Structure 1
Amino acid sequence: MKIGYLLLLTACLSGCFPARLYLKNKPNFPVDVFYENQRPERPFEPIRDLEVSEETPVRAGQLVNKRLLKRGNDMQEKELLLARLTLQAKKLGANALVGVKYTYYTSATDNGYSMRGLAVRYRNEEPSGN
């Protein structure tokens, strides 16, 4: 009886809860990224505030029975936004982005987003190449 229960529990745990690969595969950006609630341990000098933003029409997949149920971007879209922001920082010679913040809004017809952060250079280091 106990073996049957263990087999059932093991089968359920392995099949009921799919693996979350996106948590294991951390994206590799060209500069270090620190969100609003994080700070680098190394001293740095600010270069410039950066921002990427866009407005797109509401997609059919966001609507269910003409009601907007899915708002904002998914994780993959957010990573692409962050990649664009980090490339801007890299072009300026930054080593990191500090205070990165993602905001979005959704209206009846449009989705809008903004991702911003401060491009910084670590003190006593050469600027990163283009």
Structure 2
Amino acid sequence: MRVPTTSQHHTRLNLSGWVAPLLGRHGMIRTEHGNREGFLDVLRDLHRRLRQRRITLYVDGAGWHKGEPVREFLRTHPRLQLQYLPPYQPALNMQERIWRRIRHEATTNCWFATLDDIWATAQRTTDAWTPRKLQRLCNIT
């Protein structure tokens, strides 16, 4: 007897996000690829959501956080600037805390039929978070 199985080993869900700890706000988008174009999508989302604010985004040294397309975006959007975190210091990256909490609350011990189901569950989970919860996740008291 054969048991039909499905596998998604060759598919990937690329999520990118940002967090504004002092405001208790965050954003998360699904990108086609985890690359520079996906990062530019995050910058566009952040710029749109935090209108009228100067934005300093702290990022790690990944190659997709750099390069001429990123520099050009920053030149044409002067209220947004990047600061690079020291190498090998994920504890300084507040977004890493958000990802860890999403995995804990939304996906631990769960089976999902599709990547769309994972995405929808992650969105529902974070949509329920209050600004105060986000601040606590980032150790802002």
Structure number with higher relative contact order (C-alpha < 8 Å, ≥ 6 residues apart): 1
More strand by share: 1
Q: Greater helix share, 1 or 2? A: 2
TM-score of the pair, normalised by structure 2: 0.26
